[in-house]
Amino acid sequence: MAKVGFIKLGNLGMSQVVDLILDEIAARKGIEIMSFGTGAKMGKAEAEHTKHFKEFEADFYVMISPNSSAPGPTAAREIWKDKKVIVISDGPTKKDDRQALEDAGFGYIIMKVDPLIGAKTEFLDPVEMASFNSDAMKVLSTCGVVRLIQEAFDAVIAQADAGKDLELPHVLVSAQKAVESAGFNNPYAKAKALAALHMTDKVAEINFPACFMMKDIEQVTLTTATGHEMMRAAAQLAIDAREIEKGNDSVFRQPHMKDGSLKTKTKLYEKPQ
C-alpha cells in the first residue's frame, strides 16, 4: 500500500487537482491519498499547523504552494526536512536556488507556467478568483502539465511499491517541456497549446507589478484585468487545441487501471491498451 500525502499551502492553479490525478475515478487499489490544506493563506502560522499531518506517515509528501521561497513555505520545509517531500511551486526558477532545494533533500517540480493571479482587492473578488483558476486549469490540464506531474508521481509510487529508496524528481517545467507531455497528434493543436503555455507564463510577468509594486488604482485594475484577459485567451487556445484533436478522433488518453498501471488510447470507441 503506497501512501501519498499532499500539503496545500495557499493556492496555485495546479492545487485544484494535484491530489486527484493519481486516482481519477476513485478505483485504484493499493494506494492511499490524504490532503492537508490551509486555504488561501500560506504564512508561518499555517506552516506550523502542517506538522500534525505527519501522523499520516506517508511514503512521500507533496508540498504545493505559490513562491516556495516565501516565509511560510520555507518554514514548512524546515518542519518537513526529515520526510521525503516533493515541492511543487511556481518558483524558484534560478538554477542555484533549485540546487539548494535538491541539496536539502527535497524533490521539486517548479512550474513556470502556473500563473500568478491578480490578487488585489481593487480587482479580485471570489467570482473573479474562481474564473481565473478555471482558466488556468484548462491550460494546465490540456497542455501537458497535469500529465507530466502525474507521471512523475507514479514513478515515485512504483519505487515505494518495490521497497526501493525513493528517488524524487527534480524538474523545471517550461512551456516546451510541458507540451511534449500532452500527447498531441496534430501539429496545429500542439502549436496552439504551446502558445497557451507561453501566454500563461507571461500572465505572471503582467500581474506581479500590479500585486506588489503599483499603488494607483487605475494602474492596478487595468494591469490585473490585462493579466486575466490574457489568461482567458490562453484557456481558449487550449480549448481550441483539444477541439482539433477531437475533430481528428485522436485525443490521447492515459487512464489508471485498478492496479495503478497506465494504459492508453486515442480513438474514442477503442478500449485502453
Amino acid present at 67:
N
Class in CATH terms, 1-111+144-177: alpha beta
Take residue 2 and report the three cell numbers written for it. 503506497
Q: Tell me: the pLDDT tens digits for 252-264?
A: 999 999 999 999 9
Q: Can you tell me the distance from the alpha carbon of 79 to that of 104, in angstroms, rounded to the nearest whole number?
A: 12
Tell me which residue has cell 487605475. Answer: 218
pLDDT score for 224: 98
Write the CA distances from 28 to 5, 33, 167, 177, 261, integer angstroms.
16, 11, 23, 28, 9
pLDDT score for 196: 98
Q: Can you tell me the distance from the alpha carbon of 243 to that of 144, in angstroms, rounded to the nearest whole number?
A: 15
pLDDT score for 5: 98
pLDDT score for 201: 95
**Residue 67 pLDDT level (bands cut at 50, 70, 90):** very high
Segment 214-236 shows an average pLDDT of 97
Residue 100 DSSP SS3: helix
Segment 61-86 shows an average pLDDT of 97
**Residue 58 pLDDT level (bands cut at 50, 70, 90):** very high
CA angle 28, 30, 34 (to 5 degrees): 80
Segment 15-37 shows an average pLDDT of 97
What percentage of the chain reaches a pLDDT higher than 90? 99
pLDDT score for 29: 96
pLDDT score for 211: 94
Segment 74-95 shows an average pLDDT of 96
Residue 70 DSSP SS3: coil
* pTM of the predicted structure, to 2 decimals: 0.95
Segment 204-222 shows an average pLDDT of 96
Q: Tell me: the pLDDT tens digits for 115-164?
A: 999 999 999 999 999 999 999 999 999 999 999 999 999 999 999 999 99
Peptide bond just before 169 cis, omega within 30 deg: no
Take residue 262 and report the three cell numbers written for it. 497506465
Q: Can you tell me the distance from the alpha carbon of 181 to that of 250, in angstroms, rounded to the nearest whole number?
A: 15
How many CA atoms lie less than 13 Å away from 116 in the CB half-sphere?
22
Domain ranges across the chain:
1-111+144-177, 118-143+182-255
